[in-house]
Amino acid sequence: AVRFGPFVEADLRDQGAIRQVLKEFRPQAVLHFAADAVVSESVENPAKYYTNNVGSTLSLLEAMREEKISFLVFSSSCATYGDPGSTPIVETTPQRPISPYGHSKYFVEQILQDYERVYGIHSISLRYFNAAGADLEGELGENRTFETHLIPRLLKVVFDPSSPFEVYGTHFPTRDGTAIRDFIHVEDLAEAHLLALEHVLSYQTKEVFNLGTGDGYSILEVLKATESVCGTPIPFIIKPARQGDPPALRANANKAKEILGWIPRYSDLPTIIETAKAWKLYQNR
């Protein structure tokens, strides 16, 4: 997964190891992506999420403080909003997480406020909506033993229809009863991180930005779009809704567009599905 530059494997909770990396490479800033990120798992095993997502971030921040590195870009989540009640969601929408995963990201955002106020560590928190798609060249993408993300799960059934796709919940207050999500291509996410990095280094400020397109698609709509892109029907079954899943999450990302100059270029649903399909073909070759 790491093709360019040096790679050091370590546990973020190992503060000594992190300090050694910071001493050796003396980065201007840190981009912090590491976390467990499965809502349903967090409901069943909250300790894992608080230990890893919150505890590891504290370890990283303390290492940064000791090594006098004052800039951070943090991968937060729309899960901090919980069930917002209405969409699209703006950055000032009240944060009321409904899962331990959402709480863990919310807690880190609160910690970052205190670390800026007291220790002068400036940060930008990027609240992802649903990251999706793969490298446009088809050579880098998701690779999980137990897949939880929607589009890779759909593609798994496309390539092996022996087990039907599972739709969790059809009684949400949405247009077809299935949950609605806002999908953002990983290439557009990557661009947003570069812009956020430039911004925090230039303005030395604490900010939060939503990263989404504002277009919401239901689970069944994504299923139909995947069938269209792949040219094959996808068998599915209905399962009970999962605890911690809000009915609809859709972003208002105007702030990122206006302040960072961010423009999503690859986040239309067919492009997302096409690139995810190309990655799946690359894996299966």
Active site (catalytic) residues: 101
For residue 82, the tally of other CB atoms under 10 A from its CB is 20
Amino acid at 62: E
Given a contact cutoff of 8 angstroms between Cβ atoms, the answer to whether 182 and 219 are in contact is: no
Burial class (CB in 10 A: 0-12, 13-18, 19+), 3: exposed
Q: What's the longest Cα–Cα distance across the chain?
A: 56
Distances (CA, A) of 105 to 11, 30, 85, 156: 18, 17, 20, 29
For residue 128, the tally of other CB atoms under 10 A from its CB is 22
| Gap between the Cα atoms of 165 and 162, Å rounded | 10
DSSP 163-206: SPEEEE-S-SSSSSSS-EEEEEEHHHHHHHHHHHHHHHHHH---
SS3 221: helix
